[in-house]
A and B are shown apart, each in its own frame.
Chain A
Amino acid sequence: DAMVIQNPRYQVTQFGKPVTLSCSQTLNHNVMYWYQQKSSQAPKLLFHYYDKDFNNEADTPDNFQSRRPNTSFCFLDIRSPGLGDAAMYLCATSREAGSYNEQFFGPGTRLTVL
């Protein structure tokens, strides 16, 4: 089935140790998003790619970066994770940009920072 896949589902890292989360999609969608969702809070958009065009949210910390080497894959790099970065990270895709287009979400990666 076409879907959005996130690996790993659970990731443990140490304070300050770089970590990379991955997302892949078989939907061939143009747009890919990364959200951060802390416990009992709403998902918060970090950035998104429209094709290869990167769009960063103004309040996304510099500690967070992203790469999209091709249509199918998108990575979230956290350069120096702090305790406050522990969260669920959700990847989503959309066929096109624009309000009407549905976003399809992956199952998320739960990041623990020790």
Chain B
Amino acid sequence: AQTVTQSQPEMSVQEAETVTLSCTYDTSESDYYLFWYKQPPSRQMILVIRQEAYKQQNATENRFSVNFQKAAKSFSLKISDSQLGDAAMYFCAYRSEMNRDDKIIFGKGTRLHILP
């Protein structure tokens, strides 16, 4: 069974600085997708960025980028120029390409605080 581990329950970063959230996963599959979701307080969860495992190039979305290390099964999220609106719970997630049960496996999340 696949697992997703986020080892940092909470992190803090100064506004305008860069922060990296860690995520590791375990799978025996070769085809899958990885996601970072953001859940602000009292607001809905939204997709921040996704990565296809077959792509070597790291995904980037504006200030958000990932460092995908397939062999190490590592998928970290880097937030550049942190803003107050980035404060949220961030979930790393895995979804199998081969298994069609449509299940997303989430990590336990990292709560990110932005210090003004």
Contact = CB atoms under 8 A, between A and B. Distances in A.
Nearest to A96: B102
- Which size class do B's interface residues fall under? 20 to 34
A6 to B, nearest CB: 9
A48 B100 CA distance: 12
B43 A107 contact: yes
Given A42-B91, A100-B33, A102-B50, A107 B101 contact: no
Contact of A100 (B43, B52, B103): B52
B42 interface: yes
A81 interface: no
B47 interface: yes
A63 B108 CA distance: 25
Interface residues of A, number: 26
A57 B4 CA distance: 18
Interface of A: 4, 31, 33, 40-45, 48, 50, 55, 57, 90, 92, 94, 97-100, 102-103, 105-108
**Shortest Cβ-Cβ A-B pairs, 7 listed:** A42-B106, A105-B45, A107-B44, A99-B95, A99-B33, A99-B97, A105-B44
Interface of B: 4, 9, 32-33, 37, 42-47, 50, 52, 91, 95-97, 100-104, 106-109
8 contacts: A4-B44, A40-B109, A42-B4, A42-B108, A97-B100, A99-B33, A100-B52, A105-B44
